[in-house]
């Protein structure tokens, strides 16, 4: 029988020495060309079995040119550091170059010979040409090219510090995070294809992930232009374990060739095993990923059985389509492959759908209609038809019912979409400067217009009105306009019992979150009890419960509620980071600063992050900001300020440098500078935040006053107590102290005034402002910590003024009201004042 190249290769790699030579001679017979190809393919396979980890490979045939002995490499403008890899035709070096005051690390690929054959030189120069025209964040960048002092051609590329995609560092990543990284790989390959280039050598070692979690594609040594002939008669340069069947068989190549290699990499990346290990030959079908993963031992929390369930269905179908032996049956572009992965990540239908039994029957009948009529008796046809109809009738009836239900859902959703579109259209129109007379229109102007449209009485659909109101309420909540959330949604509570259960729960959660965040309102206790009694185990309800308990000062119970909510999420779910942040935040509030940061650091390392997800990127900045604040409380202001700068940089990349959510961070930076004793720098940082807040809200906004309050605290730390007092009094003179929205912040101002007067030994004034702070707080539910702090200051002032009995009574009253859940930092203050009382008592005795 005649052997194909593929058959010879697959058999030969299982043999060695004389046994292999004997088989090749027997299989090829007198066909010298076939024998030459087989031997070359085996040579390539052997040369690619080993490689230098992390280095760029040159996957060329060995023996095409005899390499010269390696000479010291000298390239003008570059300092060679060390070799980092070697291939059949070139060596790769790590080098540095000096650009004015900047030193840049680069990777330099140098041909081993100064006198290459024309085909080799053409390939090397072609690689330079390809790299020079590709500018993509996920492709190693071309920098320079030329000849060494020894006349060896070289190409200079961006040096990628990272690990290849199958490195152990990435084994335990969640599936969705792996897919998010892989989407970036697909984007890069699609970009290459748009430049009419196919890579031809996509394998793990040519896909590195750098320290910023950004994939980088390397090595265009055997890439080809789509405009060239791709019959591969010139060379067999490839990596067999990642090569497509058409590459092995030396058939014409296309973009689907790279799709196949990407499919192999993704299969191995997700399952930990190689698809070809379950393939008897190159044209065979590998085990499904959901089957293959059961054969591997997965470390970490994710069991093989759980992964298998995750893969079954869509993910199996996506990967197996990419691995079709016939290029025409694969995804015809990387873009289509990527789109289905993204659809999977977004829980949307993928483009690959299996035909139903009814579809198959109709297609079979259409293909064989004439033959069926001619070869089947009329009676048999009737019987067959009746059986077919009988089998299908029940299913068709069920499908019809499901279709009608879906139509109702579609109509309802259509109504919502129409309402949303119409409302936004009107909101934008009403905010139009030509109508409103307002020269500049802000996002809040449009939201307020939308608010007015939602709250009027001209809606045809109450469902649509509620749908829009809850959406706007969430926006208000996210943007810190908490009272607007409550004002907008509170009227809908009147018809709460008439709403579907899910809407009842969602509405209560939004209203209560807005109420608690506004701080000045707490009149929804009945709704809170209804929420926690009806859905005690729901994660969203547990979050509300945690916030409620925190406001009551019961930190331990709040921590338990947030922990119970957090346990319901895994790193691949939306909301995982937010739940982690809530739990870490309450631990920070309890002065468990190290535990808080450690939890947040763990969650950041395992959370799934689809590519280009700005929401998750934003949650990351919140997490890092919390960690920075923890460092400040741990008296590590230098580390805190460094991390705050990182948060500023990351937020700037998302919303721009002039956004409030960036400029607000300079206040945190100011606090760090203040701790470091750099009071002038701290003042500058606070001024930066102040300027933005005045620009957005005007001079008489609560947020502006709180910035001035932070500046006053910096003055107190700088021993400028009278200046701080003057600034704090100016705030009080410019606000309506009877306006409920200032209630809580007014208590903070009074407490700072008390502290400043205490430092000036003006104890009567300090006592007055402490009493004022307590007077403001007492009518409010919660704020136990703030109330106790004021009582403790009164105790300290009593001791300082010699009234030890009153001081002792106040301390005892505080201690009796405390439990194990109390703030540890406050407990230390109690012990400090208790020690002061003891010392004062001993002095009198």
DSSP letter string, 20-76? HHHHHHHHHTT-HHHHHHHHHHHHHHHHTS---TTSPP----TTSSPPPPP-----T
431 SS3 class: coil
Ramachandran region of residue 61, left (φ > 0), alpha (ψ -120 to 50) or beta? beta
**Residues 6 or more apart from 333 whose CB is under 8 A from it?**
190, 193, 255, 256, 259
178 SS3 class: helix
- Confidence (pLDDT) at 725: 92
Query: Count of residues for the chain?
Result: 845
Cβ contacts of 445-451, under 8 Å, gap ≥ 24: 447/472, 447/475, 447/476, 450/423, 450/424, 451/484, 451/488
Handedness of CA 766, 782, 591, 687 (dihedral sign): negative
Q: Cβ(714)–Cβ(679) under 8 Å?
A: yes
- Confidence (pLDDT) at 522: 57
| 121 assigned ligand-binding residue | no
- Confidence (pLDDT) at 843: 78
Cα angle for residues 311, 317, 323 (degrees, 5° grid): 110
**Residues 6 or more apart from 166 whose CB is under 8 A from it?**
204, 268, 269
> Where does residue 475 rank: exposed (0-12), middle (13-18), buried (19+ CB within 10 A)?
middle
- Give me the helices (H) in 519-655, please: 525-534, 539-551, 555-566, 576-589, 593-606, 614-633, 637-655
**Residues 6 or more apart from 806 whose CB is under 8 A from it?**
795, 798
3-state helix, strand, coil in the chain (%, to 5): 65, 5, 30
272 SS3 class: coil
- Confidence (pLDDT) at 501: 86
* Structure tokens that stand for 501 in this block: 């259960």
* Structure tokens that stand for 159 in this block: 């040096």
Q: Cβ(237)–Cβ(259) under 8 Å?
A: no
Query: Averaged in consecutive runs of 10 residues, what is the pLDDT profile of the chain (845 residues)?
Result: 70 79 85 73 52 31 35 80 76 83 84 68 69 81 81 84 86 84 92 84 87 83 60 52 82 88 93 85 82 70 67 89 92 92 79 52 40 37 39 47 50 47 50 46 62 59 73 78 81 82 87 74 76 91 89 81 91 85 87 87 81 74 90 88 92 85 88 90 91 81 84 92 91 70 77 92 90 81 76 91 90 78 72 89 75
> Where does residue 387 rank: exposed (0-12), middle (13-18), buried (19+ CB within 10 A)?
exposed
Q: Domain residues of the chain, as ranges? A: 5-47, 79-158, 164-345, 360-408
Q: Select 79-158's CATH number: 3.30.1300.10, 3.90.1150.10, 3.40.50.10360, 3.30.200.20.
A: 3.30.200.20
Distance CA 623, CA 628 (A): 9
**Residues 6 or more apart from 260 whose CB is under 8 A from it?**
243, 244, 245, 322, 323, 324, 327, 330
- Confidence (pLDDT) at 584: 92
Residue of 832, 751, 757 whose CA lies nearest to 801: 757
b/e per residue 391-404 (b: at least 16 CB within 10 A): eeeeeeeeeeeeee
Residue of 231, 241, 238, 294 whose CA lies nearest to 263: 241
Catalytic-labelled residue, pool 53, 101, 201, 277: 201
DSSP letter assigned to residue 845: -
Cα angle for residues 693, 695, 700 (degrees, 5° grid): 65
Q: Cβ(553)–Cβ(819) under 8 Å?
A: no
- Confidence (pLDDT) at 375: 35
Whole-structure pTM value: 0.45
Partner residues linked to 144 by β-bridges: 156
Can 326 be counted among the known catalytic residues? no
Rg over CA atoms, the chain: 35
352 SS3 class: coil
Distance CA 550, CA 785 (A): 10
State which fold the 164-345 domain adopts. Answer: Transferase(Phosphotransferase); domain 1 (1.10.510)
How many Å is the maximal CA-CA distance in the chain?
122
Q: Cβ(712)–Cβ(752) under 8 Å?
A: yes
Residue of 166, 136, 162 whose CA lies nearest to 84: 162
Residue of 215, 235, 213 whose CA lies nearest to 224: 235
Structural element, H or E, at residue 725 = helix 721-733
Distance CA 41, CA 33 (A): 12
- Confidence (pLDDT) at 523: 67
CA dihedral 378, 379, 380, 384 (to 10 degrees): 100
164 SS3 class: strand
- Confidence (pLDDT) at 300: 44
- Confidence (pLDDT) at 249: 76
């Amino acid at each position: 029988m005649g052997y194909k190249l593929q058959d010879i290769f697959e058999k030969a790699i299982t043999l060695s020495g004389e046994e292999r030579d004997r088989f090749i001679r027997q299989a090829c017979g007198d066909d010298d060309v076939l024998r030459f190809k087989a031997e070359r393919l085996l040579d390539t396979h052997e040369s690619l079995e080993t490689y230098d980890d992390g280095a760029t490979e040159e996957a060329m045939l060995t023996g095409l040119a005899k390499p010269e002995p390696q000479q010291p490499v000298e390239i003008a403008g570059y300092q060679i550091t060390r070799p980092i890899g070697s291939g059949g035709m070139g060596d790769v070096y790590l080098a540095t170059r000096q650009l004015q005051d900047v030193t840049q690390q680069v990777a330099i690929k140098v041909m081993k010979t100064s006198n290459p054959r024309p085909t080799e030189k053409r390939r090397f120069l072609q690689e330079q040409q390809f790299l020079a025209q590709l500018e993509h964040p996920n492709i190693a960048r071309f920098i320079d090219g030329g000849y060494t002092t020894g006349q060896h051609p070289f190409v200079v590329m961006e040096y990628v510090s990272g690990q290849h995609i199958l490195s152990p560092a990435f084994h335990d990543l969640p599936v969705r995070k792996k897919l998010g990284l892989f989407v970036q790989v697909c984007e890069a390959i699609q970009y290459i294809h748009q430049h009419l280039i196919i890579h031809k050598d996509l394998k793990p070692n040519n896909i590195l992930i750098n320290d910023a979690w950004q994939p980088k594609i390397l090595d265009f040594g055997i890439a080809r232009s789509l405009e060239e002939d791709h019959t591969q008669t010139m060379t067999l340069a490839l990596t067999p374990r990642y090569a497509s069947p058409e590459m092995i068989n030396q058939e014409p190549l296309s973009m689907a060739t790279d799709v196949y290699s990407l499919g192999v990499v993704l299969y191995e990346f997700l399952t930990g095993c190689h698809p070809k290990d379950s393939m008897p030959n190159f044209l065979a079908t590998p085990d499904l990923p959901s089957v293959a993963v059961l054969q591997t031992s997965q470390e970490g929390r994710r069991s093989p059985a759980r992964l298998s369930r995750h893969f079954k269905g869509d993910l199996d179908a996506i990967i197996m389509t990419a691995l079709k032996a016939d290029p025409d049956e694969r995804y015809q572009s990387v873009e289509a492959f990527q789109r289905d992965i993204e659809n999977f990540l977004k829980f949307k239908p993928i483009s690959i759908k299996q035909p139903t039994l009814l579809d198959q029957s109709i297609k079979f009948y259409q293909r064989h209609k004439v033959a069926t009529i001619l070869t089947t008796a009329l009676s048999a046809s009737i019987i067959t038809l009746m059986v077919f109809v009988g089998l299908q009738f029940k299913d068709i009836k069920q499908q019809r019912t499901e279709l009608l239900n879906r139509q109702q859902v579609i109509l309802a959703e259509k109504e919502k979409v129409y309402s949303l579109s119409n409302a936004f259209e009107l909101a934008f129109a009403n905010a139009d400067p030509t109508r409103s007379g307002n020269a500049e229109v802000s996002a809040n102007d449009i939201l307020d217009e939308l608010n007015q449209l939602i709250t009027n009485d001209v809606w045809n659909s109450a469902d649509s009105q509620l749908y829009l109101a809850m959406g706007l309420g969430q926006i208000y909540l996210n943007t810190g306009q908490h009272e607007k959330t409550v004002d907008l949604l509170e009227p809908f509570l009147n018809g709460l019992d008439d709403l579907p259960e899910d809407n009842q729960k969602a509405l209560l959660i939004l209203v209560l979150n807005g109420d608690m965040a506004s701080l000045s309102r707490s009149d929804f206790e009945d709704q809170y009890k209804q929420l926690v009694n009806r859905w005690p185990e729901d994660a969203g309800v547990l979050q509300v419960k945690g916030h409620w308990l925190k406001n009551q000062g019961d930190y331990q119970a709040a921590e338990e509620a947030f922990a119970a909510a957090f346990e319901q999420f895994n790193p691949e779910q939306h909301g995982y980071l937010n739940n982690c942040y809530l739990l870490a935040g309450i631990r920070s509030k309890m002065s468990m600063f190290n535990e808080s940061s450690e939890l947040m650091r763990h969650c950041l390392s395992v959370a799934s992050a689809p590519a280009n997800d700005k929401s998750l990127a934003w949650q990351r900045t919140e997490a890092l900001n919390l960690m920075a604040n923890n460092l400040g409380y741990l008296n590590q202001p230098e580390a805190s300020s460094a991390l705050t700068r990182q948060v500023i940089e990351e937020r700037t990349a998302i919303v721009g440098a002039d956004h409030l959510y960036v400029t607000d961070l300079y206040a945190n930076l100011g606090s760090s500078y203040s701790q470091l004793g750099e009071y002038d720098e701290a003042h500058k940082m606070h001024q930066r935040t102040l300027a933005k807040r005045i620009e957005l809200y005007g001079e008489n906004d609560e947020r502006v006053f709180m910035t001035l309050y932070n500046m006053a605290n910096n003055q107190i730390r700088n021993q400028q107590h009278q200046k701080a007092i003057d600034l704090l009094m100016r705030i009080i003179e410019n606000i309506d102290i009877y306006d409920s929205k200032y209630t809580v912040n007014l208590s903070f101002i009074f407490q700072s005034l008390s502290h400043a007067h205490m430092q000036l030994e003006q104890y009567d004034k300090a006592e007055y402002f402490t009493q004022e702070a307590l007077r403001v707080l007492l009518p409010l539910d919660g704020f136990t910590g703030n109330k106790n702090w004021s009582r403790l200051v009164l105790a300290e002032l009593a001791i300082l003024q010699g009234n030890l009995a009153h001081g002792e009574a106040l301390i005892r009253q505080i201690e009796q009201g405390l439990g194990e859940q109390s703030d540890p930092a406050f407990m230390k203050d109690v012990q400090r004042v208790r020690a002061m009382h003891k010392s004062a008592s001993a002095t009198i005795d």
